[in-house]
Amino acid sequence: MLLSIQDLKVSFRMGKGVLAEAVKGVSFDVPENTTVALVGESGSGKSVTAMSILNLLPENAVRQGRVLWQGKDLLQASLPELQAMRGKDIACVFQDPMSSLNPVFNVGQQLCEPLMRHLGLSRKQALVRAEELLGEVGIPEPKRRLNSYPHEMSGGQQQRVMIAMALACEPKLLIADEPTTALDVTIQRQIIELLRKLQDKHRMSVLFISHDLGLVGELAQHVVVMRHGLVREQGASSVIFEAPKDDYTRALLACRPSLEGNPARLMVIDDHIAGKASQQHGKAKDPNAPVVLEVRGLAKSFWLKQGLFGKREFKAVQNVNFKLKKGHTLGVVGESGSGKTTMGLTLLRLHEPTGGEVIFDGQNLLKLSDSERLPMRRRIQVVFQNPYASLNPRFTIGQTLVEPMVIHGIGKDLAEREQRARTLLEKVGLDGRAFGKYPHEFSGGQRQRVAIARCLTLNPEVLVLDEAVSALDVSVQAQVLNLLKDLQDEFGLSYVFISHDLAVVRFISDEVLVMKDGVVVEQASAEQILAAPKEDYTKRLLAAIPRGYTAAA
C-alpha cells in the first residue's frame, strides 16, 4: 500500500485551550497507480485531511492517528524529512494557480527550482527538462513560454504549469486539491484528460479533492465521501455512483443542476436528507413582458503593444445584440477568453465601449455623462465571481450595505437605512447577527449572499452576475441559485447571467447567448441550445461537461 491514513484526527488550537475539531477519525487507503477522490462540501475536512499528509497546515494544528507512507508514519517524521519528500515523492496542485505561482519569477525559474533542489540538475539541464515538461502538459511554444510570467498566461495555462511543476521530479503521489474548480468546461476537460494521461505514463497515484461528483466519476477508481470531518461512505466509484448507501452521498449527487431539465427549485443537501419533494413548477414567465435592456452592436477593443513603438487592436467584443425582458434571465456562456465578462463589464461601462448602444429606459447608457450615469448605475448592478475580493475587509457587513444607500440618497436617516439593510440580510438568508460582523467571518457562499444583498439595497431592475456561483460548492451553489430565482419572482428582477457552466445556465436562464472570440455564435432559448445546438462550438462545450461514472464506464 502506497499511503494508508488510519484514524486521523486534526484539531486547531483557538486560544485559551480551546480545540476546534476539523477531522474526526478519518481512515482510507491510496494504492499504487490509483486515483482516490475525496469529495464533500466546503468545510467537510477533505483539504485538511490531504494537507495533513505532508503537514502543510498552520502551526496551531494538532494531528493524531497514523499516516503511513510505504509503511513509515509521516506524523512522526521531522521537518527536514518532510521537506525532502515535498515535491519529490509527494507533490501538490492547488485550486488557484495564481496564488500558488510566484508572480516575480518567470515560469522557467519556477520549474527549475525543484529540479535543481531534488534531482541535483545543473541550471542548463534543468531548463532543458523544464521545456520538456511544458510540452508534456500541452503548453504551446514551450521554449518561449519559459520566459513568461504567470500573469501573462490564461488560467488553464497556469494550472498546466502547476501540474508540470508537480510532476517535475516524477512523484509517486499527486495531491490535486480542486485543480479545475475555477476553469471553464473545455479547459477542465483538458486538465482531467491530461492528469489521466500523465498518471498512465508515470504510474503514479492521485488523491483528487473535489466537490463535483460528476468530475470525480470520470477520474477516480475509489471515492471517499466526507462531511463535518467524518467519512460518511467510501467504496469503488461504480458502487458509490450506482448504489450510494448514505443519504448525504445521494443528496450530493442530486443537488447539482441537470442538462436534461430541472425543477423550479434545486433541492439542497438538508432537503434531500429530510426527504422533501422537489418543487416542480415555479412562477411562469410572461412572454409579453416589456424589454428593459436592449444591446445593439456592442463592441470593445483593447490596444496591445507590438514592437518598440507599434500597437495592434485586439477585438474582445464584436457586434453583440440582445434584448432582455423584465423578470427574465439571459445566460451568456463560453470558454475563458470568449469575451463574455468583457461584454458584461462594457454594457455597465466598467470598460469604455468602442462602439454600439445599450438602451435602458429610453436612454443610451454609453452616451451619458458622469452625472447622468449615477442614477442609472443604481438601477443596474453587478455581482462578481469572487466574493472575497468584492467586499471591503475593513467594513462590517452593516457598513457595506448602508454605504450605497448613503451615496444614492436612499432612506431618510441612518436608522431607516440600517433597518432596510437588516431586512435584506434576512431576505438573502442571513440573520441579524451578520450586521456587525466582517467579511472574513463568513464562508464564500455567505459572502456571495452579502454581495447580492448589497445590490438589492438600491432597488435595481437589472443584475449582471459574472460567474457569481462558479467558485461555490454544489450545495451552496444550489442555495444561491434558488435565492436568485426567489428574488426574481418577488422583485421582477432581470438578470444577465454570465457563466461557463451550461448546467447552471440551463437551470436559471430563459434565453442563452453562446460567445466565442468576442462574437455571438448562437442565440436561442435555453431548451433549444441544449436540445439541438447548431454550432460545432456549442456542441463541443456540451460534450466537455462531466457526466459522472456512467460517462466514464
The tens digit of pLDDT for each residue in 188-200 reads: 787 788 888 888 8
What is the average pLDDT score of the chain?
Answer: 87
What pairing do the DSSP bridges indicate for beta strands 380-383 and 462-466? parallel
CA distance 152 to 164: 17
Q: Could you tell me how far CA 250 lies from the centroid of its own chain?
A: 22
CA distance 251 to 247: 6
Assigned C-alpha cell, 454: 448589497
CA distance 461 to 483: 16
Assigned C-alpha cell, 318: 464584436
φ/ψ of 235, rounded to 5, equals 165, -175
Q: Name the burial class of residue 117, with classes exposed (0-12), middle (13-18) and buried (19+) by CB atoms within 10 angstroms of its CB.
A: middle
Assigned C-alpha cell, 526: 435555453
The closest of 22, 36, 18, 17 to 8, measured between CA atoms, is: 22
Query: Buried b vs exposed e over 446-471: b needs ≥16 C-beta within 10 Å?
Result: bbbbbbbbbbbbbebbbbbbbbbbbb
φ/ψ of 499, rounded to 5, equals -160, 155
Q: What is the pLDDT of residues 207-230, one digit of tens each?
A: 999 877 778 888 899 999 999 999
What's the pLDDT score for residue 266? 81
Looking at the DSSP assignment, which residues form a beta bridge with residue 286? none
- Give the residue with greater pLDDT, 177 vs 331: 331
The domains found in the chain, sorted by start residue, are 291-552 (3.40.50.300)
What pairing do the DSSP bridges indicate for beta strands 222-227 and 230-236? antiparallel
Q: Which of 1-5, 150-154, 234-238, 519-523 has the lowest mean pLDDT?
A: 150-154
Q: Could you tell me how far CA 159 lies from the centroid of its own chain?
A: 14
What pairing do the DSSP bridges indicate for beta strands 19-30 and 72-73? unpaired
Residues 6+ apart with CB under 8 A from 513: 320, 322, 330, 331, 332, 333, 340, 520, 522, 523
What's the pLDDT score for residue 262? 66
Question: Can you tell me whether residue 359 is helix, strand or coil?
Answer: strand
CA distance 10 to 245: 26
The closest of 199, 207, 194 to 136, measured between CA atoms, is: 194
- Give the residue with greater pLDDT, 482 vs 5: 5
Q: Report angle CA 238, 240, 244 to the nearest 5 degrees.
A: 130
What's the pLDDT score for residue 414? 93
Cα radius of gyration rounded to whole Å, the chain: 25
The closest of 89, 139, 78, 131 to 108, measured between CA atoms, is: 131
Question: Can you tell me whether residue 403 is helix, strand or coil?
Answer: helix
Q: Which of 32-36, 184-188, 280-284, 532-536 has the lowest mean pLDDT?
A: 280-284
What pairing do the DSSP bridges indicate for beta strands 462-466 and 355-360? unpaired
Query: Buried b vs exposed e over 150-170: b needs ≥16 C-beta within 10 Å?
Result: beebebbbbbbbbbbbbbbbe
Question: Can you tell me whether residue 303 is helix, strand or coil?
Answer: strand
Assigned C-alpha cell, 84: 525532502
Q: Is the pLDDT of residue 295 over 50?
A: yes
Residue pair 282/485 in contact by the 8 Å Cβ criterion: yes
Residues 6+ apart with CB under 8 A from 402: 414, 417, 418, 421, 457
Q: Which of 35-39, 353-357, 524-528 has the lowest mean pLDDT?
A: 524-528
Give me the amino acid identity at 449: R
CA distance 69 to 126: 28
Share of the chain above pLDDT 70, in %: 96
Q: Is the pLDDT of residue 372 over 90?
A: no
Q: Is the pLDDT of residue 547 over 70?
A: no
CA distance 466 to 27: 39
Share of the chain above pLDDT 90, in %: 41
CA distance 136 to 141: 11
Residue pair 222/231 in contact by the 8 Å Cβ criterion: no
CA distance 297 to 24: 57
Assigned C-alpha cell, 553: 464506464
Q: What is the pLDDT of residues 252-270, one digit of tens each?
A: 887 777 777 667 778 788 7
CA distance 69 to 88: 13
Residues in the chain: 553
Helices (H) and strands (E) in the chain, counts: 22, 20
Q: Name the burial class of residue 340, with classes exposed (0-12), middle (13-18) and buried (19+) by CB atoms within 10 angstroms of its CB.
A: buried
